[in-house]
Each structure stands twice: as structure tokens, then as C-alpha cells.
Amino acid sequence: MIYRQKSKNGQYISSPAEIFERNCIKGAINECWLWGAYITPNGYGQTRIGGRGSKALQAHRLSWMVNVGEIPNGMHVLHKCDNRPCCNPNHLFLGTNTDNIADRVSKNRSNRWIKDAPREKHPRTKIMGEQLKSMLKLRQEKTKVVDIAKQFDISKEHCSRLITSAQKGELSWCS
């Protein structure tokens, strides 16, 4: 008889291997194996080992643990395929945080790690350099911050922070 651990509420807890087998949609050895359970807003598969209240674990890390072995402290599990819900161990490799950043940059998936990356490439950018210059001009003309914020469709807090930072010379992208 196989002993299975019980959770606090008395239900049996599945092993990591059982969770992986139940939720991974496997294909051929060279294909992406997609996570068939919860997908985070960032696109990664995620589960919990140990039931409710336990720490969340990304599916590709679970795949590595089940199929390859322990993940050393401080190491990341990276995707060769760049398919976030993929949990095929043949598509994964270990790397440091620096390796992870370099991998993202080399594949043009991250501008925030490039010091002087153009702001307009960031998907949530609302205010560009010329717009900030217009905001500064309006403020010099004694226009209220709340009115400037409405004109540029941003919160008055964001508007105030942008104007103050620009006036202090803290924003390299607005010069």
C-alpha cells in the first residue's frame, strides 16, 4: 500500500509527479507540452504542491523537478522555446538570474533591462517625450495639474510625479 499525505482538511495530497501527469498535455518529444490547468496572467502554468495555502509553483519548474531533478538554490528554469505554458523538459534549461535577463534581451522580449530603451516600445507607455514637454509648458503657464492630467488621460498623481521628476532632471528620456 502506498502511503499518501493528508492535508489539514483531511483530503489526500497528490505528489508532484501526479500533479504533473494530470495537468500536462503531452505531445511528441520535440513539441511543446502545454500546461492544462491554471495559467497566470503572465502566461505561465502554475499549481500548488501540498494543497490550499501552500506556495504557488510555476509548471515549468515542476516539470524540471519531476523529470530532471532538484533545482539548485538561486537557479531559474528557462524556456528554449519561449512558450510560457510549455512544460516539456526537453525545452527547458537551468540558468542564473543574469542568464535569464540576457536570454530575454537577446530574444527582444524585454526593454526594461536595457538602460536607454525607447519608452514607446513599452506596451503601457502613455506619455512620450514630446507630450511631457507639453505638460511642462502647461505647468509653467500655471495650468492646474488636475487639468493637465485630464488633457493627457492620466491620474493627477501620475501627472504630478512626471512633472516633478522632469523638473528635477530625473527623467533622461524627456530631454
pLDDT at residue 1 in the model: 37
d(CA 172, CA 120): 14
Grid cell listed for 3: 502511503
Which of 106, 137, 152 terminates a domain? The answer is 106
pLDDT tens track for 114-148: 455 555 555 667 787 888 889 999 999 999 999 99
pLDDT (tens digit per residue) in 62-91:
999 999 999 999 999 999 998 999 999 999
DSSP state of 1: -
**Does a structural domain hold residue 7?**
no
C-beta separation of 60 from 87 below 8 A: yes
Which one of 54, 73, 106 terminates a domain?
106
In a domain, 4, yes or no: no
- pLDDT of 166 above 80: yes
The pLDDT assigned to 130 comes to 84
Range of the domain at 84: 16-106
Torsion of CA 26, 39, 87, 71, to 10 degrees: -150
Please name the residue that has the C-alpha cell 488633457: 151
- Do 20 and 94 fall into the same domain? yes
State the CATH number of the domain containing residue 58.
3.90.75.20
159 shares a domain with 124: yes
Q: How many domains does the chain have?
A: 2
In the chain the first and final C-alpha atoms are separated, in Å, by 71
pLDDT tens digits, 13-32:
788 999 999 999 999 999 99
Are 33 and 101 within one domain? yes
Query: What's the pLDDT at 72?
Result: 96
Confidence band for 2, pLDDT divided at 50, 70 and 90? very low
